[in-house]
Structure 1
Amino acid sequence: MTTPLRIALIGECMIELQHRADGSLQQSFGGDTLNTAVYLRRELGDNSVVDYVTALGDDSFSDAMCQQWSDEGLGLDMVQRLPGRLPGLYCIQTDARGERKFLYWRNEAAVRDCFTTPAAEPILAALPTYDVLYFSGITLAVLGEAGRERLLATLIEARKRGAKVVFDNNYRPRLWASVEVARAAYRGVLAHVDIALLTEDDERALFGYADSEQVFAAYPGLEEVVLKRGADECLMRCGGERFAVPAQRVEKVVDTTAAGDSFSAAYLASRLKGGTPEQAARSGHQLASQVIQVPGALMKHP
């Protein structure tokens, strides 16, 4: 019997409010790494252990989050519950084309202390024992400087033990004190990443790269680089080879929230199951094309 892969995704889940056309608000939960964790668990099924690593409060919203994650099959052993704290909150506003804008309330979010509490010590010690560690640019932002330093040390130790480190660049300027701070944080971790799942628009906004060629040239040492380009073809470099896979077209885009997160989940799931980069990109496009046809980050479980 094959031992299930052990995967840990590190980041933040927030209370999600979807702003409807009639002015009403639909409440759910979402966050980039959490979205990827849910879709990754669905894609891999019982052939994996998918744990989410975060910090929440001791409130009813945090209780509901944990229940939802458990229902999705995610492991909760790495979730801290901090007394008196709350999760972050964001609101999604979409225009007529399905493009979204986010409004955030997260300054007091519990996740900011995820790696600085005494309860974090056994979690940090356990993370290098996983087969795969996954985090994002948003993870880097919300952890703060002290949390980022501890995460970096964990990534280095994990790779020494043979773990694969996967990074999704998800750059949100308003989460950072300055673009210079963000650049330094990204460059610090990218030297310790095996698979980089990069959104071209985010690379352009953060580093000023003019096109995909500049992005690929910026990361000569990375084993696998995936460049997500929205409705355009996905570009990849793996093992010195280059690949391009067209996106799947849909008739009506309802909400692009979690398009990139779901792509990343299906791409990674395919690669972990032995798929080629091209097969993985096709899986990513297929799932993302379904996600953007429904409102919110998470589709209902089939």
Structure 2
Amino acid sequence: MASALDQLRDMTVVVADTGDVEAIRALKPIDCTTNPSIVLKALQSPAFEALVADEIAKGKTAGSTPMEIADALTLGVGAELAGLVPGRVSTEVDARLSFDTEASLAKARAIIAGYEARGITRDRILIKLASTWEGIRAAEVLQGEGIDCNLTLLFCRAQAIACAEAGVFLISPFVGRITDWYKKAQGVDSFAPDEDPGVLSVRGIYDYYKSNGIETVVMGASFRNTDQIKALAGCDRLTISPDLLTQLAADEVALPQVLSADSATGLEKVSLTEADFRWELNQDAMATEKLAEGIRNFDADHQKLLKLIADKLAA
């Protein structure tokens, strides 16, 4: 029997949630998705020693700031990954800009220009933005400029609806982080896959999109175990860590398709104003808390990267 991973690939685009070059070479995903945590980890690996040394040397000569060098290193990692996958590489706008539409636009355009200077066209890149109202508005403008976006840190249907209305190319609802919150809130150790709040959230968003012919891609993210992945088999895309990809590759159990556009239930399409969006997000304690926490944590790893660069510049 084919492995669970091979069966999954027959119904879902599999994306690697990693910047590990060797893992990507071995697992052969279609796309790669990164975030500040993944970039920080990648730059501390032997695979990128030469890139780090080269950019630090250039930075010293040019008098560059740690932020400028960090941007160059992030693009360097993305360029390396783009050479390993046939599809897209997601690259994230600084989390500290999550509530500033204009600054997010400027950073996104600079990222695209940086890739194009390296010979990587914009159709190979997804700009990642947090699913704040401001991030969604930035994505709307970028989509109009032919720059496709991946809206991350998405935890509730209000965020998904706003992204769809903005014409966003792809959303990344975070399964595991939703589950983590509910496990803590309810004082339980686990959920059965069909009762898992993270799984149910993505299923609901997928159903809403397919019921209304919405073209925005649903890419489940942030998985804690393979049961969550199997419970979303058939989702447009799933971004999965190397450890879980390896487990799926070793698993030869039959994998039924769970999600299909043909099974959409016909949910009514709704429209959200800014006030509606903010109110619905406010009313969802889990989504409010996890969005804020995710932004803080991504910024914390970005600050660690800046310190690492500053230390190397001073050495």
TM-score, L = length of structure 2: 0.34
Bigger relative contact order, structure 1 or 2 (CA pairs below 8 A, ≥6 apart):
2
Bigger Rg, structure 1 or 2: 2
Q: Which has the higher helix share?
A: 2
